[in-house]
Amino acid sequence: MKIVIVGAGEVGINIASQLISERKDVVIIEKDPERVQKANDLLDCLVILGEGTNVAVLESAGIENADIFIAATSIDEVNMVSCFVASSEYNIPVKIARVRNVNYAKSDIFNRSSIGIDFIVNPEVEASYEIAETVDLGAVSGVFAFNGTRAQLRDFYVDKDSFFVNKTLKEIRLGIRENFIISGIFRDEEVLIPSGDFVILESDHIYMVSLSNTFNKILTKTGKKLAKIRKVIVVGGGVIGKHVVGLLLEQGREILLVEKDHDKCKELAALFEDVMVINGDISDDVTFNEEDLGSADVIITTTLNEELNILAAIYAKKKGVKHSVALINRQNYVNLATGLGVDSCVTPKLSSVDAILKFIRKGNVKNVYTVFEGKAEAIEFTVSKNSELDGKTLVDIKFPNNCLVVAVQRGHSTIIPSGNYVIRAEDSLIAFVTTNSLEEFEDFLSN
């Protein structure tokens, strides 16, 4: 499969890195010489200096043989025009555009085949939904909820006081006595698929799969405080902050929106009549004390300054806020933030990568979530009618290496399966797959 990507920013780099790890033929087009150099240093692929709207540049990238074209620059109009040029000049099966402007995203223009875009992705909208879902599920950890199922994949950071530290998986299972699967461990930049005797260490990231109601019991038994989330602080009234407030209002939350720009506060107050808009600096002690922010259940930091987002989330918990969610753009900050006590980190650019990967995957793929800094994916797929998997037990199916089925959705029931579970047509399976096995897994799904 050949994939041409326009834009070597964070989104383009992350998508390319993921696809290259799956041994796809990737070419990147970027007009900024410094970004071209950075992409050459980071990625094992062809990087071309030029405009994604230039036919000659597209041809030098081998566009005529491309299976997928992804326009992922930071400028909506460039992405839209690039897709239009690629579509009008070449027969490319799939064209994807990153579009941040919500008005563009909602426009009927994308319903017209002449524009040449098969799929649009909006980083801010994707991140906002992820934040709202995290709050809805308690904001006690990173959460990946699979649509239409009760299965969840949760990320637990292991600190020195964690229930998990220095225990084997067998000991953890005996201590919790609930139905769950630890699908992987992230340690020292490496993905580990653990056995029963595997020992969890401080600073590990545990990825656990269970049912939503079971997780409440697991969290209680592992010392995580569960509380009903009523009062929420949202810091930052930008694009993501506004989206998050709208989604939280639909959930029936009491919201305090903190924004230090006075003019923007007036705009926000007019937009959200049921929200208390506070003109203040979240890093100022006076703002916290005067507005009694420490009594909130959750703080969500969504400013454009990710360092401020991390520090404000940590500071708020010191002042009494129970849980924290921080918006972070750089993936290498996530481990730092969780290690310092931030409960959940959301990365808009990775949310976009997940949306794009879900769209381009082969087979009956319903959801894709990138985990372990892009070194693994949680993939939900449907077993089609007349499939060879129908009637087989999990233990008898020859899945690719480093692939673990962690949940099954059958009708209205979600099951955490054992090896003796019998698969049926139209079951939805959730599998945990490391990137070095993704190409083999895609072939497995296609066959």
Residues 341 and 406 in one domain: no
Do residues 96 and 73 make contact, with C-beta atoms less than 8 angstroms apart?
no
When divided into structural domains, the chain yields a total of 4
Same domain, 28 and 114: yes
Give the Cβ contact number of residue 419 at 10 Å.
10
Look at residues 221, 243, 266 and tell me which one is the last residue of a structural domain. 221
| Interatomic CA distance for residues 271 and 444, integer angstroms | 49
Residues 309 and 442 in one domain: no
Residues 241 and 325 in one domain: yes
Q: Do residues 100 and 131 share a domain?
A: no
What CA–CA distance (Å, rounded) separates 202 from 195?
Answer: 18
DSSP element (H, E) containing 174: helix 169-176
| 178 shares a domain with 284 | no
The whole domain housing 293 covers: 127-135+229-350
Query: Is the same domain home to 308 and 216?
Result: no
Tell me which of 350, 372, 404 is where a domain ends.
350
CATH of the domain at 376: 3.30.70.1450
According to DSSP, the residues that pair with 367 across neighbouring strands are: 380
Structural domain contains residue 34: yes
DSSP one-letter code for 331:
T
Amino acid residing at 275 = V
Residues of the chain with pLDDT under 50: 112
Q: Is residue 64 part of a domain?
A: yes
Using the structure block, give the residue that is written with the tokens 């098969």: 118
* For helices 306-318 and 332-339, angle between their N-to-C axes, nearest 10 degrees: 10
Co-location of 193 and 238 in the same domain: no
What are the residues whose beta carbons fall under 8 Å from the beta carbon of 57, sequence distance 6 or more? 29, 48, 50, 51
Element (H, E) at 129: helix 123-136
Looking at the fold, whether 251 and 131 belong to one and the same domain comes out as yes
Asked whether residue 144 is assigned to any structural domain, the reply reads: no
> Residue 28: which CATH number?
3.40.50.720
How does pLDDT run across 127-168, given as a tens digit for each residue? 888 888 888 876 666 677 776 778 888 888 888 888 999 999
Amino acid of residue 222: T
Could you tell me where the beta strands, DSSP code E, fall in 188-287? 190-192, 205-211, 231-235, 254-259, 276-279
- Given 193, 221, 249, the domain boundary residue is 221
Model pTM above 0.75: no
